[in-house]
Structure 1
Amino acid sequence: MITLNLSDLKSAGSTIALLRDPYRFISRRASELGADAFLTRLLLRPTTCMTGVEAAGVFYDPARFQRAGAAPGALQKTLFGQGGVQGLDGEDHRQRKAMFLQIVQPDRVEALAESVTRSWRRAVDDWEAVGRIQLYPRLQELLTLAVCEWAGVPLPAAEVEDRTRQLSALFDEAGQIGVSHLRSRAARRAADRWAAAVIDHVRAGKLDPPPSSAAYVVAHHREPNGRPMASRVAGVELLNVLRPTIATAVYITLVAHALDAHPAWRKRLATGDGSEDTAFVEEVRRHYPFFPAVAAVVREDFHWGATCS
């Protein structure tokens, strides 16, 4: 039985508290209240915050919750893009999701891993020559090169730095306040124009990526009404392939941090047979959370087994 606390709904809200400590706000507040869920206000809107296994099971029930209208406008205009799969429901969402599943078939994931490996080996040669680097931005660059090569998206050498900066700003600065957020919005506009142009060039035959590539699949995808996506929306979805791949630079950096904090594991993984590699990565994912929270809108009021305090 889940416990729901009502007290925070009477306050002015928790927006500032969430922004100050986004990754731990919900869990800490729930612990303070002795509840698995609590009511508060975020951006002045009554909001239910939930945590725990039982809450997660309810949250992902599509009959009770919808994605459309859930994400704050600031994130739609930076992180997700407008018109993308994250804001769809029903058949529109299922068909758009099927497009992404086609893009990430096992053989294509393996091809992406091979592209990243090639990019990594080229980068390591440069890093060794320099002697000391900032790992995180260098990872963003090598992943940008790798995913664009894999996705069938042209990336001239002269554009690598700018495109890396734009695509990284979509997740690095999206949730920040002030100038950083404005930079993320500017990056989104520039990246949207670039990705839409790639889609237009594929459709016009000016680019001929492999049929299995993300650029080809997105450009030729048909919506439930049988029509192709508008170029702008298709560009958003192409970025929804590129951006998350580059964002894995966060996890790779956290793996490096974990190995530095636990040096015994460096030798253990380097000399092992590989059987512990996945377990170590999964533990990093568990210990270092990526998204602070996910959001949805209740379709209509429903009763759920909860006690109130």
Structure 2
Amino acid sequence: MTSDRFAFPPSDQTVFLTDGGLETTLVFLEGVDLPCFAAFPLLRSGEGRAKLENYFAPFIRTAVERDVGFILDTPTWRANPDWAAKLSVSPEELMDINQEAVRWAARVRDRLSDNRERVLINGVVGPRGDGYRADAQMTAEEAQAYHALQVEAFREAGADMVSAITMNYVEEAVGIARAAEALGMPVVVSFTVETDGRMASGESLQSAIERTDRETGHIPAYYMINCAHPTHFDDILSGSDEWIQRIRGLRANASAKSHAELDESTELDAGDPLDLARRYRDLRERMKHLSVLGGCCGTDHRHIAAICDACVPALGRAA
């Protein structure tokens, strides 16, 4: 069942870190083969689980050392039926893997942190299709039915929350939010944008957030932006409009390249961790309600430590 300690924004203004670019780190820095860019098959072996824990450990240590919270994601961004079928994973095995992802995350939390209240287990729901293209779109009703089993698996295994990550059109986000509400799970929606600050569907971020709230009755606990560099959305996050206040998390890319360029990249663009951290600091000075700070493609623990030190200077120390 869901935890009664989930609340955003935290009443004590606690900052929560996340990890960085799981798949890009494993592929480009660790040399791990991830067919279909899927990390969840690593849960099927002891060696794979060890690789995942070794990846997450520095991020959790950073949060513990700096006395901030941490949102521990399950490695399940691709763990839905369409991607599983491409990897020859049966529906029954997929349900088991999604549940095991939560149990695995809980074990990692308990080994690496002695403050369970500061580490939330987050069941990650990714897009049915390509996160960079708004093709083969579903209706909200279809999306709810499609993603409900994964959300149910997270609930049954004891996750604290679920997050819809790298959403590029509204109907899928609405469907996941409704599935979470029906199953009694707190849910976060994270949209991604192109270099012009608009989603792949062509819709503005403002419209996407406002429409998702309107069509769900404000179900999402908060919104995030992920898989885009701050230069892609900085200029649209000005003012104090309600839709901007709903954005409480950032998980930016290290690279300022477009999604199309990243898709074709054969080498990792890790950008400049200190420059990225300064951009986060500038955004947080304008948006003081930002509580969740992490990374996406190309970022590793160096980026997250720099971001934390820039945004929470009273607690920062050398990375």
TM-score (structure 1 length as normaliser): 0.26
TM-score under structure 2 length normalisation: 0.25
* The structure with more strand, counted as a fraction of residues: 2
If you compute each CA radius of gyration, which structure gives the higher value, 1 or 2?
1
1 or 2 for the larger relative contact order (CA 8 Å, sep ≥6)? 1
Higher helix share: 1
